[in-house]
């Protein structure tokens, strides 16, 4: 029988820099919380020896394995533009069994996270990445990254309502007033009363556009995001994705606020 030693946390390992669960997260294996569970379950080894303390630290020369497979650091970050279809939940795994991003992750073969969200009934551009710096900079409120939507509603807004919509309206049970935005009609009302608008926001509250139109008694029928900052949906079709090039990433980050890195 092979004897397996259990390593306790050692106080004399000051030269080792990173907690084991943080290392696993940075390598794209799991979140930090999930990493703690893997360690406590005895599934993680360092240099051939099982580690059961989440506080255990590892360094550049250590070999970390999960279930016998070597965990390697990610050499480069991944940046994707993804057309989220309507009816897909913007989460890595939905507890209710609804369609989510798990099938996409299976194609990629690595763990990425959505930057912001689109609700279940919305569609369009979603950025996916494993880069915590980019994530923080794009979602930081002071970055004011523009997000453009094509929205079909019924009934249409009159000229006074359009002005008030752009100036800001109360949402979230009147606990928040939206920032100034732009709204432009793209069509005349149809016989059924439907009108298409272009809406550009510089913030992103939960179900914000739907609540803003609801304030005026209008219902959103179709909501499609076509742009985030300088990045557009272009020719992507529902369910398709493409990798961003360095130039696109650089443009995307222009004017954003730098904040400390997020460890997913």
Residue 119 appears among annotated catalytic residues: yes
Residues 115, 126: contact at Cβ < 8 Å?
Answer: yes
Strand ranges for the chain from DSSP E: 6-7, 18-19, 44-46, 49-51, 57-58, 64-66, 69-70, 79-84, 113-115, 123-129, 147-154, 170-171, 176-177, 182-185, 195-201, 219-228, 231-232, 241-243
Distance of CA 192 to the CA centre of its chain: 36
| Residues 205, 70: Cα–Cα separation, whole Å | 40
| Residue of 119, 121, 131, 160 with catalytic role | 119
CA dihedral 194, 196, 202, 208 (to 10 degrees): 20
Nearest to 171 by CA among 126, 122, 204, 125: 204
Longest dimension (CA), the chain: 81
Residues that are catalytic = 119
């Amino acid at each position: 029988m092979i004897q397996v030693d259990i390593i306790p946390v050692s106080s004399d390992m000051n030269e080792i820099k990173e907690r084991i669960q943080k290392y696993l997260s940075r390598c794209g294996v799991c979140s930090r919380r999930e990493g703690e569970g893997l360690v406590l379950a005895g599934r993680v080894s360092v240099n051939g020896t099982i580690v059961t303390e989440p506080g255990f630290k590892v360094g550049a020369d250590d070999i970390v394995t999960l279930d016998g497979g070597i965990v390697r650091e990610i050499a480069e970050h991944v940046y994707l533009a993804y057309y989220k279809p309507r009816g897909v939940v913007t989460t890595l795994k939905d507890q209710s069994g609804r369609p989510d991003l798990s099938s996409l992750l299976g194609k990629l073969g690595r763990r990425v996270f959505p930057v912001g969200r689109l609700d279940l009934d919305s569609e369009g551009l979603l950025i996916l990445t494993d880069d915590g710096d980019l994530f923080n900079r794009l979602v930081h409120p002071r970055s004011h990254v523009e997000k453009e939507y094509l929205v079909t509603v019924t009934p249409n807004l009159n000229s006074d309502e359009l002005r008030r919509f752009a100036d800001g309206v109360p949402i979230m049970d009147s606990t928040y007033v939206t920032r100034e935005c732009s709204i432009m009609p793209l069509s005349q009302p149809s016989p059924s009363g439907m009108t298409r608008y272009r809406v550009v926001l510089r913030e992103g509250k939960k179900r914000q556009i739907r609540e803003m139109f609801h304030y005026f008694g209008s219902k959103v029928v179709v909501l499609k995001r076509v742009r985030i900052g300088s990045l557009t949906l272009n020719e992507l079709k529902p369910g398709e994705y493409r990798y961003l090039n360095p130039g696109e990433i650089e443009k995307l980050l222009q004017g954003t606020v730098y904040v400390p890195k997020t460890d997913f």
